[in-house]
Amino acid sequence: MGAVRVVPMRRKHLREVLRIEQSEYVRPWTSTLFTSELAQRTSRRYTVATIGPVLAGYAGLMLVEDQGHVNTLTVDKNWHRRGIGSVLLIDLARAAVGAGARHLTLEVREHNEPAKAMYTKFGFAPIGIRRNYYAETGEDAIVMWAGDADSEAYARRLARIEEKLSLE
């Protein structure tokens, strides 16, 4: 696998983003929704992960007061288990802290064990459940929280994760 580059999501990426979105989700986000999110430049950050010319994944962050909320993090099924989700999350976490966030939060499907394992590696812990959050499947969401993301200890955690990725 070549080097993974994380770059800002642009309109030119939407065709591939939507292809991945539609292949991964029962109720995918629409082009209109992504366009609306991209327009909110002061409170949102959307990125894509590329490997050479291939768009392998994307992620989005919403900033609200001292929190960075991970809105989406999706990797093309052809690129699962290669560290791309971790690369995207490292970028989002650092960007959130750089924008003044002290804590990170997200929702994850109750039965998405690989995602929950990755988030746990990043210091996220379950703090609640949103019942029937994913209405299309009736699945609950686990609300996860990483406090003190602006601490030196959290920066070291990200550096250790990044170092392990570079060794793989």
d(CA 92, CA 22): 23
Q: Which of 46, 58, 119, 154 is catalytic?
A: 119
- Give yes or no for a contact between 48 and 9, defined as CB atoms under 8 angstroms apart: yes
**Which has the closest alpha carbon to 118: 41, 59, 78, 63?**
59
Identify whether 107 is a catalytic site residue.
Answer: yes
8: its two tokens: 């800002």
Tokens of 110: 């109750």
Give me the catalytic one of 58, 107, 110, 154. Answer: 107
Cα 137 from Cα 130, distance rounded (Å): 13
Q: Is 21 a catalytic residue?
A: no
Give the catalytic positions in this structure: 107, 119
